[in-house]
Amino acid sequence: MTQVPTPTFSPAAGAVNPGQTVTINATTGASIYYTTDGSNPTTASTKYVDGTPITVNVTTTIRVFATKAGLADSAVATATYTISTTVAAPTFSPVAGTYSPQVDVTATSMTTGSSIFYTTDGTTPTAASSKYMDGTPITVKATTTLKAFATKAGLTDSTVTTAVYTIKVPPTTITFVNSMKDVIFDHTAHSTRGATKACADCHGTTPPAFVMDASGNFASMSVMYPTSGAPNKYCGECHNGTTILGGITVFSTSGSCSKCH
């Protein structure tokens, strides 16, 4: 015979503040019976009424099962709620991590009616710090250490929750002042005229100066450095304004390239 699914509790068992309400969920049409003294429930136990949660004011163990005509009774579910006089610490959503270009963070506490105070400069928050407004996220646009605690009258303040949000700034878009010009790369000029360059000299460096795709077509090029800025680095190794190849003085990357780029 098919068995009724085991009922579930909301919120889950754990530490709660006085006055916490607990709802029980079960299969549609099933009757739910429960006890709050740790004993096994039967159909003679208290019947749970949908929409009427159980209020927990002292440490309580709730045991519950569900029954429905034509089905085997469910297994007994057990949940223990331990009363705590400390406000539940805030949680952040989304969790700490790396985001780009910014992230909106919300803060919540499981303690109903609590107030949350926070800082964004890494200092410990107090009741004089910024008060978090429900439904209004904290927008983080730069790497920030967010700290928050929750408080409620009659209860001990929560511990401080800390989360570091690292903001990864997108690369700046490069805009060419002058229109780009097509360039035909002459391998002959770079492999003769005294240059005696091998393929690996340009295509085998790390990272390679010129990247080719699987079909042997030009894919991308690394940044060109003049010799004065980074000796023996890519194009600047030869394009320094002084090297003479085949009777021609090779132009410098520090000057001529800027005419187009």
What is the reported pTM? 0.51
3 state DSSP class of 81: strand
Q: Over the stretch 173-194, which tens digit does the pLDDT of each residue have?
A: 655 555 555 445 555 556 555 5
- The pLDDT value recorded for residue 1 is 81
Sequence-ordered list of residues with C-beta below 8 angstroms from that of 73, at least 6 positions apart, any chain:
3, 4, 65, 66, 67
Distance CA 14, CA 207 (A): 54
Segment 79-100 mean pLDDT? 94
Q: Of 140, 145, 146, give the one whose Cα is nearest residue 167.
A: 140
In tens, the pLDDT along 127-140 reads 999 999 988 999 99
| DSSP per residue, 208-242 | -SEEE-TTS-EEEEPPP--TTTSTT-GGGGT-SS-
Q: How far apart are CA 212 and CA 101, in angstroms?
A: 31
Provide the percentage of residues in the chain whose pLDDT is more than 90.
56
Q: Is 218 a residue whose pLDDT tops 50?
A: yes
pLDDT at 229: 46
DSSP state of 26: -
